[in-house]
Amino acid sequence: MRLGIFGGTFNPIHFGHLRAAEEVRQEIGLDTVFFVPSYIPPHKELAGGIPADKRLEIVRLAIRTNPSFALSSFEVEQGGSSYSIRTIEHVREAYGVTPYFILGQDAFNEISTWYQSARLFGLAHFVVMSRPDAKRPGLKDVLGGMPVSFEESDGGYVNDTGNRIMFVNVTALDISSSLIRSLRRQGRSIRYLVPEEVEDYIRNERMYE
Protein backbone atom coordinates (compact mmCIF):
# COMPACT_ATOMS: atom_id res chain seq x y z
CA MET A 1 0.00 0.00 0.00
CA ARG A 2 1.37 3.38 -1.01
CA LEU A 3 0.20 6.30 1.10
CA GLY A 4 0.87 9.97 0.48
CA ILE A 5 0.86 12.71 3.09
CA PHE A 6 0.21 16.21 1.82
CA GLY A 7 0.49 18.79 4.58
CA GLY A 8 -0.17 22.50 4.41
CA THR A 9 -2.07 25.37 5.88
CA PHE A 10 -4.63 25.09 3.07
CA ASN A 11 -5.76 28.64 3.84
CA PRO A 12 -7.58 28.10 1.53
CA ILE A 13 -7.02 25.00 -0.63
CA HIS A 14 -6.90 25.79 -4.37
CA PHE A 15 -6.49 24.10 -7.77
CA GLY A 16 -2.68 24.39 -7.51
CA HIS A 17 -2.78 21.97 -4.55
CA LEU A 18 -5.39 19.68 -6.06
CA ARG A 19 -3.94 19.26 -9.54
CA ALA A 20 -0.38 18.81 -8.23
CA ALA A 21 -1.54 16.15 -5.74
CA GLU A 22 -3.50 14.34 -8.46
CA GLU A 23 -0.48 14.23 -10.77
CA VAL A 24 1.76 12.96 -7.97
CA ARG A 25 -0.82 10.35 -7.00
CA GLN A 26 -0.81 9.01 -10.54
CA GLU A 27 2.95 9.31 -11.09
CA ILE A 28 3.85 7.43 -7.87
CA GLY A 29 0.84 5.11 -7.94
CA LEU A 30 -0.44 6.17 -4.54
CA ASP A 31 -3.52 4.43 -3.19
CA THR A 32 -4.47 7.36 -1.00
CA VAL A 33 -3.27 10.92 -0.49
CA PHE A 34 -4.01 12.24 2.98
CA PHE A 35 -4.52 15.99 3.05
CA VAL A 36 -3.40 17.14 6.48
CA PRO A 37 -4.20 20.75 7.37
CA SER A 38 -1.78 22.03 9.98
CA TYR A 39 -3.07 23.39 13.28
CA ILE A 40 -0.54 26.11 13.97
CA PRO A 41 2.01 26.34 11.18
CA PRO A 42 5.39 26.77 12.91
CA HIS A 43 6.85 28.86 10.09
CA LYS A 44 4.21 31.44 9.44
CA GLU A 45 1.49 33.60 10.87
CA LEU A 46 -1.90 32.22 9.95
CA ALA A 47 -3.40 34.89 7.73
CA GLY A 48 -6.98 35.96 8.21
CA GLY A 49 -7.40 34.29 11.60
CA ILE A 50 -9.19 31.39 9.95
CA PRO A 51 -9.93 28.70 12.53
CA ALA A 52 -8.87 25.13 11.88
CA ASP A 53 -12.40 23.78 11.57
CA LYS A 54 -13.09 26.01 8.58
CA ARG A 55 -9.86 25.02 6.84
CA LEU A 56 -10.79 21.37 7.44
CA GLU A 57 -14.26 21.92 6.00
CA ILE A 58 -12.87 23.60 2.89
CA VAL A 59 -10.49 20.71 2.25
CA ARG A 60 -13.31 18.23 2.80
CA LEU A 61 -15.45 20.01 0.20
CA ALA A 62 -12.57 20.24 -2.27
CA ILE A 63 -11.56 16.55 -2.24
CA ARG A 64 -15.01 15.02 -1.82
CA THR A 65 -15.32 13.63 -5.34
CA ASN A 66 -11.85 12.05 -5.50
CA PRO A 67 -11.92 8.52 -4.02
CA SER A 68 -8.10 8.55 -3.68
CA PHE A 69 -8.01 11.72 -1.61
CA ALA A 70 -8.75 11.71 2.13
CA LEU A 71 -8.88 14.36 4.82
CA SER A 72 -6.86 13.87 7.99
CA SER A 73 -7.60 16.02 11.02
CA PHE A 74 -4.61 14.50 12.85
CA GLU A 75 -2.62 17.73 13.22
CA VAL A 76 -5.68 19.78 14.17
CA GLU A 77 -6.65 17.20 16.80
CA GLN A 78 -3.11 17.10 18.17
CA GLY A 79 -3.24 20.86 18.65
CA GLY A 80 -0.20 22.97 19.42
CA SER A 81 2.52 23.45 16.82
CA SER A 82 2.20 21.07 13.88
CA TYR A 83 5.35 19.16 13.09
CA SER A 84 5.37 16.92 10.03
CA ILE A 85 7.55 14.35 11.76
CA ARG A 86 4.71 13.56 14.18
CA THR A 87 2.27 13.08 11.32
CA ILE A 88 4.71 10.83 9.48
CA GLU A 89 5.31 8.72 12.61
CA HIS A 90 1.57 8.48 13.15
CA VAL A 91 0.97 7.16 9.62
CA ARG A 92 3.87 4.71 9.95
CA GLU A 93 2.40 3.31 13.17
CA ALA A 94 -1.22 3.30 12.03
CA TYR A 95 -0.60 1.68 8.62
CA GLY A 96 2.79 -0.02 8.96
CA VAL A 97 4.18 1.55 5.79
CA THR A 98 6.78 4.13 4.84
CA PRO A 99 4.68 7.02 3.55
CA TYR A 100 5.39 9.39 0.68
CA PHE A 101 5.57 12.93 2.00
CA ILE A 102 4.44 15.38 -0.68
CA LEU A 103 5.53 19.00 -0.73
CA GLY A 104 6.20 21.84 -3.14
CA GLN A 105 9.70 22.87 -4.15
CA ASP A 106 9.40 26.14 -2.20
CA ALA A 107 8.67 24.22 0.99
CA PHE A 108 11.38 21.63 0.30
CA ASN A 109 13.98 24.37 -0.09
CA GLU A 110 13.38 25.28 3.59
CA ILE A 111 13.43 21.73 4.92
CA SER A 112 16.68 22.06 6.86
CA THR A 113 14.82 24.47 9.19
CA TRP A 114 12.09 21.93 9.99
CA TYR A 115 11.74 20.28 13.39
CA GLN A 116 14.04 17.20 13.52
CA SER A 117 14.64 17.59 9.80
CA ALA A 118 17.47 15.07 9.51
CA ARG A 119 15.31 12.29 11.00
CA LEU A 120 12.54 12.92 8.48
CA PHE A 121 14.41 11.21 5.67
CA GLY A 122 14.66 7.95 7.59
CA LEU A 123 10.90 7.88 8.08
CA ALA A 124 9.38 8.79 4.70
CA HIS A 125 10.02 9.10 1.01
CA PHE A 126 9.89 12.69 -0.17
CA VAL A 127 8.09 13.78 -3.31
CA VAL A 128 8.98 17.31 -4.34
CA MET A 129 6.60 19.01 -6.76
CA SER A 130 7.72 21.78 -9.07
CA ARG A 131 6.16 25.14 -8.43
CA PRO A 132 6.26 28.36 -10.48
CA ASP A 133 8.82 30.83 -9.08
CA ALA A 134 10.44 28.20 -6.84
CA LYS A 135 14.09 27.59 -7.70
CA ARG A 136 15.36 24.03 -7.80
CA PRO A 137 18.80 24.14 -6.16
CA GLY A 138 21.06 21.09 -6.17
CA LEU A 139 20.21 18.60 -3.44
CA LYS A 140 23.49 19.34 -1.66
CA ASP A 141 22.55 23.01 -1.39
CA VAL A 142 19.19 22.18 0.17
CA LEU A 143 20.48 19.48 2.53
CA GLY A 144 23.86 21.15 3.10
CA GLY A 145 24.96 20.90 6.71
CA MET A 146 22.39 18.23 7.55
CA PRO A 147 23.71 14.84 8.72
CA VAL A 148 22.11 12.95 5.82
CA SER A 149 23.53 11.36 2.72
CA PHE A 150 21.83 10.53 -0.56
CA GLU A 151 23.00 8.93 -3.76
CA GLU A 152 21.55 9.45 -7.20
CA SER A 153 19.30 6.65 -8.36
CA ASP A 154 16.50 6.25 -10.89
CA GLY A 155 16.26 9.94 -11.66
CA GLY A 156 15.94 10.67 -7.93
CA TYR A 157 17.98 10.07 -4.81
CA VAL A 158 18.15 7.29 -2.25
CA ASN A 159 19.62 7.05 1.27
CA ASP A 160 20.92 4.08 3.25
CA THR A 161 17.45 3.25 4.59
CA GLY A 162 16.24 2.91 1.00
CA ASN A 163 14.06 5.99 1.29
CA ARG A 164 13.94 8.18 -1.76
CA ILE A 165 13.65 11.83 -2.71
CA MET A 166 11.79 12.22 -6.00
CA PHE A 167 11.20 15.32 -8.05
CA VAL A 168 7.96 15.46 -10.00
CA ASN A 169 7.29 18.11 -12.60
CA VAL A 170 3.64 19.00 -12.26
CA THR A 171 1.56 21.28 -14.46
CA ALA A 172 2.61 24.79 -13.55
CA LEU A 173 -0.33 26.54 -11.93
CA ASP A 174 0.73 29.86 -10.48
CA ILE A 175 -1.95 29.84 -7.79
CA SER A 176 -1.30 30.38 -4.10
CA SER A 177 -3.48 30.77 -1.04
CA SER A 178 -1.95 34.24 -0.64
CA LEU A 179 -3.29 35.13 -4.09
CA ILE A 180 -6.78 33.90 -3.17
CA ARG A 181 -6.75 35.90 0.07
CA SER A 182 -5.52 39.01 -1.69
CA LEU A 183 -8.20 38.78 -4.41
CA ARG A 184 -10.85 38.38 -1.71
CA ARG A 185 -9.58 41.41 0.19
CA GLN A 186 -9.87 43.43 -3.01
CA GLY A 187 -13.41 42.17 -3.55
CA ARG A 188 -12.33 40.38 -6.75
CA SER A 189 -13.44 37.00 -8.07
CA ILE A 190 -11.67 33.74 -7.17
CA ARG A 191 -13.73 31.73 -9.65
CA TYR A 192 -11.77 28.99 -11.54
CA LEU A 193 -8.90 29.22 -9.03
CA VAL A 194 -10.69 27.06 -6.46
CA PRO A 195 -13.45 24.43 -6.79
CA GLU A 196 -16.92 25.89 -7.01
CA GLU A 197 -17.98 24.49 -3.63
CA VAL A 198 -14.93 26.07 -2.02
CA GLU A 199 -15.75 29.40 -3.64
CA ASP A 200 -19.34 29.19 -2.36
CA TYR A 201 -18.21 28.28 1.15
CA ILE A 202 -15.71 31.15 1.29
CA ARG A 203 -18.33 33.59 0.10
CA ASN A 204 -21.05 32.35 2.47
CA GLU A 205 -18.67 32.42 5.46
CA ARG A 206 -17.38 35.85 4.39
CA MET A 207 -13.80 34.62 4.66
CA TYR A 208 -10.75 36.77 3.80
CA GLU A 209 -12.81 39.92 3.32
Does 109 bind ligand ATP (CB under 6 A)? Our answer is: no
Buried b (16+ CB within 10 A) or exposed e, 73-82: bbbbeeeeeb
Member of 50, 63, 124, 175 binding ligand ATP (CB under 6 A): 175
What angle, rounded to 10 degrees, do the helices at 196-204 and 52-63 form?
Answer: 150
- Return the range that interacts with ligand ATP (CB under 6 A); candidates 16-24, 50-58, 84-92, 199-207: 16-24
Question: What part of residues 153-172 is at the interface with ligand ATP (CB under 6 A)?
Answer: 170
DSSP per-residue string spanning 14-78: -HHHHHHHHHHHHHHT-SEEEEEE-SB-TTS--GGG--HHHHHHHHHHHHTT-TTEEE--HHHHH
Provide, rounded to whole angstroms, the least separation between the CB of residue 94 and ligand ATP: 22
68, 108 contact by CB (below 8 A): no
Residue span 25-64 as binding mask against ligand ATP, x where in contact by CB under 6 A, dash where not = ----------------------------------------
Q: Which of 3, 10, 39, 111 binds ligand ATP (CB under 6 A)?
A: 10
State the residue number with the nearest CB to ligand ATP: 104
The amino acid present at 22, given as its one-letter code, is: E
Residues that bind ligand ATP (CB under 6 A): 8-11, 16-17, 20, 103-104, 106-107, 129, 131, 170, 173, 175-178
